[in-house]
Structure 1
Amino acid sequence: MVQLGELAEIVSGSNIVRLSESQQDRKYTTADFEHDFYTMKLADPQNAIIYQQSSSMPHMSATILSDANKEKVISQIFAIIRIDVSRLNPWYLCYLLNQSQEVAHKCSQCLQGSVIVRLSAQLMKSVRIPLPDMTVQQNIGELYATALYQNHLEIMQANRKLTGILAVLRKKIEQKKEIINHE
């Protein structure tokens, strides 16, 4: 076990009230986070990891920033984690932060705040994570990112099928109405 702070630099996002108007227009949103989460397999592993500091979406706490979002302004509900990729696989770290019950328990012990409960960047550095050899990390991380991406693709395909079926149903109903109106 090693403290995350030994392998990463962690910085909290900015207070959104203090952002300029142009920064507000380039703000990283929860929709951006969700997109990056499901498509993290496609992200450059050299990109920073973004961590959602509050617990509003269980099992969706960390992902690798996509190229499209890596220049956006990060608000205070997120933290940026820059890791030493020679020692820690980014997809493996996302797996730990999103799925490991042991890490989740350690993180929940460190939560702060009375209105918005969050894990500060400073306390996150003290969270201890298991650090197997790089091959094991790569295997776990690759499987995790691939599974998320495949799930995302299947959901998109199912949504397209549903949209198609609903369009056919609407057309059939309109045809029936036309037949009734002509009788």
Structure 2
Amino acid sequence: MFVLSKSLIGQKIMSLRTGGQVGVTVSTIINPNNLKIEGFYCLDNQDKKKRLVLLYQDIRDVVPQGIVVNDHDSLTEPQELVRLKDLLGLNFELLGKPVYTQSKQKIGKVNDYATELSTFFIEKLYVGQPLVKSLSGGSLSVERGQIVEITNRKIVIQDPLQGIKDTKPQPAAAPLSPA
């Protein structure tokens, strides 16, 4: 099932063990190499100033009331996550990132994305176009397979209206003769 990024941010984190809220998601931790949400930065309910990390593996379910985890122990201090240290240091943010085609034409900026909940891979980007283009065409959705390159400064996608290469017409195959 796909969900938009805006439905994952600001969600309550609910504990199965206590039945209550243990935190609130603040932002996503995205791996730019494979466009996967590795986890969420969240605020602890017990200490509002404490910023913790909820890894995607610790999420049991996503329901309308919020994100369900086993208990408060699912929230981890960022410095304890040694394997994700480099990724956390990147502070990669997808929203607001400019999108260009391979021919260096600016398409717009990412204003939302859809995530597959079973894998937490980002499957589709929604790109808001500049005012002039939005009057004629509206927003643009970019499938994961159309993405060519992701850097800290931009996202490069395949040219959307790239023509088909000129090919010579091929003769039709001869009909099969009865045996």
TM-score category, normalised to shorter length: under 0.3
Structure of higher RCO (CA pairs closer than 8 Å, 6+ residues apart): 1
TM-score by length of 1: 0.25
TM-score by length of 2: 0.25
Larger % of helix: which? 1
